[in-house]
Amino acid sequence: MSVAAHILIVEDDREISALVARYLSQNGMRASAARDGREMDRALRDGRFDLIVLDLNLPGEDGLSICRRLRQTTQMPIIMLTARSEDVDRIIGLEMGADDYLGKPFNPRELLARIRAVMRRQGAGQADLNEVPGSFVFQGWTLNASNRELTNPDNVRVAVTGAEFDLLRVFCERPGRVLSRDVLLDLTQGRTAAPFERSIDILISRLRQKIEREPREPELIKTIRSGGYLFTPSVARQ
């Protein structure tokens, strides 16, 4: 029997928090709530969670600061919520390490779909281990498909989010091919969650900061004008 996913809702609006928790519980998930960053920290110390739904506008420490702080210690999936829908807010949220973004007001059904999509992507590496090699090696880097880890040429683990891992894996599976943004969205996120069209560009930028010697002059992930992106190194499968 599978264990129900445990979702932590960090939201200061009690009505929204209760509504989301009730809807998730009705659909086979466990839900806990925190009103701010301090309550979230206590919940994370005391329990195990599979995903965080994080509001942007919180009292005290805001959601962006919390997201940045979380990414220093955990790669747990994060979906950000906000009453503001401007592109700049979505871009900043994704740059801080969020896996997805949903503006208010929202339908709980859409949030559930996004939670399931993010968690499905997070667990995809475990679901198809028999169909892919254990790891990909490029320029001294190793992307391990079995444990979803990335190690640098010095054999030091480099923290990557689930979304970053999935994107790098797509590149490793298709080196030397120009991949458009639409193709990358389909291969990494699918269309069920209506992904933000700039999300691929932001993920590329995040990956470049981690694997490129000079992120402003990338050698591994090249931008192809009017085409998309090209992963240039040779990749060995192990």
- pLDDT tens-digit readout, 54-111: 999 899 999 999 998 998 888 789 999 887 656 666 677 777 888 888 888 889 999 9
The answer to whether the beta carbons of residues 65 and 54 sit under 8 Å apart is: no
Q: Give the number of other Cβ atoms within 10 Å of residue 89's Cβ.
A: 19
- pLDDT tens-digit readout, 190-235: 544 444 557 788 889 999 999 999 999 999 999 998 878 999 999 9
pLDDT at 118: 84
pLDDT at 128: 43
Q: How far is 66 from 11, CA to CA, in rounded Å?
A: 12
pLDDT at 20: 95
123 pLDDT band, cuts 50/70/90, is low
Mean pLDDT computed over 113-128: 70
Identity of residue 14 = R
Map out the domains of the chain as residue ranges.
6-126, 128-237
pLDDT at 156: 94
- pTM of the entire predicted model: 0.63
126 pLDDT band, cuts 50/70/90, is very low
What architecture is the 6-126 domain classified under in CATH? Answer: 3-Layer(aba) Sandwich (3.40)
What architecture is the 128-237 domain classified under in CATH? Answer: Orthogonal Bundle (1.10)
Q: How far is 231 from 104, CA to CA, in rounded Å?
A: 36
For residue 156, give the nearest of 207, 205, 210, 204 by alpha carbon.
Answer: 210
- Average confidence score pLDDT of the chain: 85
